[in-house]
Every structure is written in structure tokens, then in C-alpha cells.
Structure 1
Amino acid sequence: MRFEHFNFNVLDLEKSLKFYDDALGLKPVREKNAEDGSFKLVYLGDGQTDFQLELTWLRDRKEPYNLGECEFHLALNTDDYEATYKKHKEMGIVIFENHSMGIYFIIDPDGYWIEILPRDRHTKK
């Protein structure tokens, strides 16, 4: 067994695609469209791993998704933590910072939290 993908449902697919490209550099790698146009699945990749984020857009969905207490998140790491942090601060998407752990969270257009951490965080002692 190995990880394949994770899913986020989104209200505005174009807005979400722009966010994930601008904020995280994630690009579409494949998509699936319903024959009747009722849904679209767009899979985003980082160009470095096989893991994908699936964005699901439902044509008839008009109200925001209820994410509950949002006690889940997607995590990404970066080689240039300081530059990434600065970029996200300038974008106004940093929602929570934990300086003692050396991580922070950003929020996407639908309210999903994404953890950002330095790539070498798990190798430091």
C-alpha cells in the first residue's frame, strides 16, 4: 500500500487552481469530467513526488462546505522556508503560526488549512 491522493471539495475551481498554483506551485496533472458536466476532478501535483491533491468541483453546489472544526490538514515542506513564509504573509493567507515548532498554516479559498514546514525539519536533532 502507498498513498495516492487526498481530496478537497471546492466551490470555485478556477479560484482554487489559481490559489494552489500561486501559493504552492501545485499544477494540474490530470482531470476527469462528468459526461453530464455535473462534476470535475482536477488532480494537482508538485512535480517532485507521486502524491496528488484532488480538487472536486460539483456544478450544483452553491453553499460553502462545512469543515467542522477543521481538525485536519494537508502538509507540505519547502527548501526555502523563509522565502515561502514571506510570500504567504504578503498574500495574506497565513492563518496560524507556531514559532516554537517552526511551522505555520495557510488557508485556502474554501477554508482548508495547509501546514508549511521546512524540508529538513524531521532530520534535525
Structure 2
Amino acid sequence: MEFRFDHNNLNVLNLEKSLEFYKEALGLKEVKRYRQPDGNFILVYLGDGVTPHSLELTWLKERTTPYNLGENEFHLAFKVNDFEAAYAHHKTMGCICYENKEMGIYFINDPDNYWLEIIPAVK
């Protein structure tokens, strides 16, 4: 028996705003979409064009309040080949929420306040 990672899921309050953020901040593109026939939810899968792993954004029609992320002790991590350019881009976007210069990493937060770790491809 062999298991492989396939995708991670994040629930989002505003699907279009989230899609714009993930495209601008991380270059992720929509690779698949599923719309429930009754319109109660939409699943959008985003990919990086390099790895088979995807990020599933789930939008629920009835959801009107922000998600309670608790202490937000979980995150997704992204490697980037040009760390300095990525940092400058995210600084301009105003989405850097935490920096750890000693470790050489930083975090950005998406419109729903999920944290995304940015790490250099080579450390």
C-alpha cells in the first residue's frame, strides 16, 4: 500500500478575493473546479504548474462570517527560487504577517488569515 499527498483544503469566505490573492501572491492557477448542482458549495483546486500537489479552496454559500482559525498553529509552506524578490513583492502587497530573520523565513496571510510560510529553495 502506498500513500501520496494529493491536496490540502482551506475554506474561504470570498472565493474571488482568495483566487486573486493566490494568483498574485504565489502564482497559483486554477486547475479544476467543482460546483455542487444546487449551488451550496464550490471547490476550486489551485496548482503551481510544477508539482502534482494542489490547494483546494472551498466556498460555502451559507457561510457569512469569517472562519475561527483558533490560534492558527497550522500553515502551508512554499519554496521560492528568488527569496528576495518574493519578499519585496509580498511587502508591496502588505501581506507579510510574521518574519523570522534568524531562520531566513517569513509568513504571509491570505484574505481569511491563513498563514503561508515562504522559504528559500536553497538554504
TM-score, structure 2 as length reference:
0.98
Q: Distance in 1 between matches of 2:93 and 2:118?
A: 14
Q: What's the offset of the Cα at 1:120?
A: 1.0
Structure 2 counterpart of 1:117, from 116, 119, 123: 119
Q: How many residues align?
A: 121
Segments of 4+ in structure 1 off by > 3 A? Answer: none
SS in 1 for 2:20: helix
Aligned-pair Cα RMSD in Å? 0.4
- Residue in structure 2 matched with residue 63 of structure 1 by the alignment: 65
Structure 2 counterpart of 1:25, from 24, 27, 37: 27
**1:20-99 correspondence runs (5 A):** 20-99=22-101
**Structure 2: which 5+ runs fail to align?**
none
Q: Distance in 2 between matches of 1:31 and 1:6?
A: 15
TM-score, structure 1 as length reference:
0.96
- Residue in structure 1 matched with residue 109 of structure 2 by the alignment: 107
Q: What's the offset of the Cα at 1:15?
A: 0.1
SS in 2 for 1:14: helix
**1:5-24 correspondence runs (5 A):** 5-24=7-26
Q: What's the offset of the Cα at 1:90?
A: 0.6
**Structure 1: which 5+ runs fail to align?**
none
